[in-house]
Structure 1
Amino acid sequence: MNNKIKIATFNIWKNDGEFPNRIFKLNNELKSNNFDIICLQEDYESEEFSSSKYLNKSLEFNYISTKTRRKVRNNQLSSSNLTILSKYKIKLIDEIFFNKNEKEERACQIIEVNIKDKKILLVNIHLSHISEQERISQIKKILQYLKKYNKLYNMTMFCGDLNALPNSKEIALIKENAFRDENIQFSHKDGVTIDYIFYKSDEKIKVHSKIVLKDYSDHYCLVSTFNFK
């Protein structure tokens, strides 16, 4: 197999900013960066337009989307989805909803990625921005759920917009459960890091992380390249 996997996580900011023009411009950028897997948060979808479906027209990746945070935006009913775009075969294992059907509903996707002889369990998440305790509760629920799956996979990944700073209790809780991350750059225009790609594996893996694509959202795109030895 190709021993290198390039994974990105990117909050694409619903329909805010110069929308949809910034999504149109982002299309070519995603293709030229040659990502293998893209985890999207705040992926806008209405009856008239879907950001991820538009972006995937040129990528032609495997596609799984979870509708969440449905409400009226600019006089139109829309959702702010979690979406996975993958060059490799993917399967939805489960969706976990927090505060379902409430104004600040949050969710996560649990996805299986098959890359020849490797099986990866991938969590794509957007945690609450309201309170530390709410985020801790959400993380605990996910970690408890993952316990029954971890041993079945070569690597487990925990990606997305966590709305938590690197020195927070939320991030400490994830690291206490043997997850690691390599990014040291800011992931948001306000000069903070709140987006992560955590991973856990018994295999020897070399990981390089960096920030790219700073002009298309209030978040920046975080990409990690995993080299299996």
Structure 2
Amino acid sequence: MFDKDGEDERGALIVEIEYNEKNILILNTHLTNFDHKRRMEQIYQIRNYLDKKDFDLIILCGDMNSIPSSKELQCIRQHGFIDYNNNPTYEEGLILDYILSKSKFPIKVKSKILVQSLSDHHCLQNSFKI
């Protein structure tokens, strides 16, 4: 949980899977839209959690409320995560939603927008081939 019981309580859903003898962690989150400083604090909490884990593949996804060139996404990428989506996921052609991955083995990823009319965010899908 981020900012538990605060004005902008957020969190992350974490799933651990074993598939074909590979340990996979999927983390889905929705970072604050309040300000850059709070998002960075949330990213550091996520990074600290992930640093304590040893997985073959980590998938980090969610509404990051940050554009690709932001310091928030730079921080995530500096931690070894790769983003495969180049399509707008939000109004006005912005990319705010991500499915990023960090893998110890080669993977192939295809990314696409499935639906654009369910909400103000578009439905992003990544297909991972192991």
TM-score for both structures, normalised by structure 1: 0.55
Q: Which has the larger radius of gyration?
A: 1
**1:126 — aligned with what?**
30
Q: In the TM superposition, what are the counterparts of 1:10-29 in structure 2 within 5 Å? A: none
Structure 1, unaligned runs of 5 or more:
1-96
Alignment of 1:225 onto 2:127: yes
CA distance in 2, matches of 1:116, 1:192: 36
- Of residues 172, 177, 184 in structure 1, which corresponds to 2:74? 172
Larger strand percent: 1
1:14-46 per-position Cα deviation (integer Å, ceiling 9, x unaligned)? xxxxxxxxxxxxxxxxxxxxxxxxxxxxxxxxx
Q: In the TM superposition, what are the counterparts of 1:88-167 in structure 2 within 5 Å? A: 97-149=1-53, 151=54, 153-167=55-69
Q: Could you tell me the percent identity over the aligned residues?
A: 38
Deviation of residue 198 (structure 1)?
Answer: 0.7
- Of residues 117, 123, 126 in structure 2, which corresponds to 1:215? 117
1:30-78 per-position Cα deviation (integer Å, ceiling 9, x unaligned)? xxxxxxxxxxxxxxxxxxxxxxxxxxxxxxxxxxxxxxxxxxxxxxxxx
CA distance in 2, matches of 1:147, 1:219: 30
Deviation of residue 126 (structure 1)?
Answer: 0.4
Deviation of residue 227 (structure 1)?
Answer: 1.1
Structure 2, unaligned runs of 5 or more:
none
Asked which structure has the greater RCO (Cα within 8 Å, sep 6+), the reply is 1
**1:42 — aligned with what?**
none
CA distance in 1, matches of 2:22, 2:125: 20
SS in 2 for 1:98: coil
1:180-209 per-position Cα deviation (integer Å, ceiling 9, x unaligned)? 011000001232000000100110111111
Root-mean-square deviation (CA, aligned residues, Å) is 1.1
Q: In the TM superposition, what are the counterparts of 1:178-217 in structure 2 within 5 Å? A: 178-217=80-119
SS in 1 for 2:58: strand
Deviation of residue 117 (structure 1)?
Answer: 2.4
